[in-house]
């Protein structure tokens, strides 16, 4: 995934990624104010600076369409871990099978992108 992101960025595309974590990840660093706010019961927190922001929010079973909406300026959004999604996918079977070349996957993504936005009826 990182090689593919780097290849798409090298081609001048603005790339976003959305990663599913089946282990209910820790969204904040213990000891920070936002961590303490969440521990105190806040259902959501936002941390921002002049160049980025991070929003965490308790939300039962968000779907990929809601997450995709967070990146309206992206040229390409790569989803990782959405095996039941109806979006086009590449199934990685590494280490059992060799990884494809990032450039070949990027070519395919650009071909699909040139055909227009991909929409699904999930």
Which domain CATH number covers 23?
3.40.50.300
What is the β-pairing status of strands 53-57 and 44-48?
Answer: antiparallel
Is residue 8 included in any domain, yes or no?
yes
Provide the domain count of the chain: 1
Is residue 21 included in any domain, yes or no?
yes
Give CA–CA dist 111/16, Å, rounded: 18
Answer for the pair 65, 3: CB distance below 8 angstroms, yes or no. Answer: no
Which residue range forms the structural domain that includes residue 38?
2-114
Is residue 120 included in any domain, yes or no?
no
Answer for the pair 78, 16: CB distance below 8 angstroms, yes or no. Answer: yes
pLDDT of res. 122: 46
Is residue 103 included in any domain, yes or no?
yes
Is residue 121 included in any domain, yes or no?
no
pTM for the complete prediction? 0.78
Q: pLDDT per position in the chain (122 positions), as tens?
A: 899 999 999 999 999 999 887 777 777 889 999 999 999 999 999 999 999 998 888 888 888 888 899 999 999 999 888 878 887 777 777 788 888 899 999 999 899 888 876 655 54
Contacts for 19 with CB less than 8 Å, ≥ 6 apart: 79, 80, 81
End-to-end CA distance of the chain: 24
Give CA–CA dist 122/119, Å, rounded: 9
Token pair in block for residue 79: 């989803």
Say how many residues make up the chain. Answer: 122
Is residue 119 included in any domain, yes or no?
no
């Amino acid at each position: 995934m990182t090689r593919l992101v780097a290849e798409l960025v090298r081609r001048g595309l603005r790339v976003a990624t959305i990663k599913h974590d089946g282990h209910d990840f820790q969204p904040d660093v213990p000891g920070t104010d936002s961590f303490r706010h969440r521990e105190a019961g806040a259902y959501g927190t936002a941390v921002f600076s002049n160049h980025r922001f991070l929003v965490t929010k308790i939300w039962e079973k968000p779907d990929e369409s809601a997450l995709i909406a967070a990146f309206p300026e992206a040229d390409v959004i790569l989803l990782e871990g959405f095996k039941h999604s109806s979006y086009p996918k590449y199934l990685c079977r590494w280490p059992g099978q060799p990884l494809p070349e990032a450039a070949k996957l990027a070519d395919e993504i650009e071909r699909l992108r040139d055909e227009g936005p991909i929409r699904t009826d999930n």
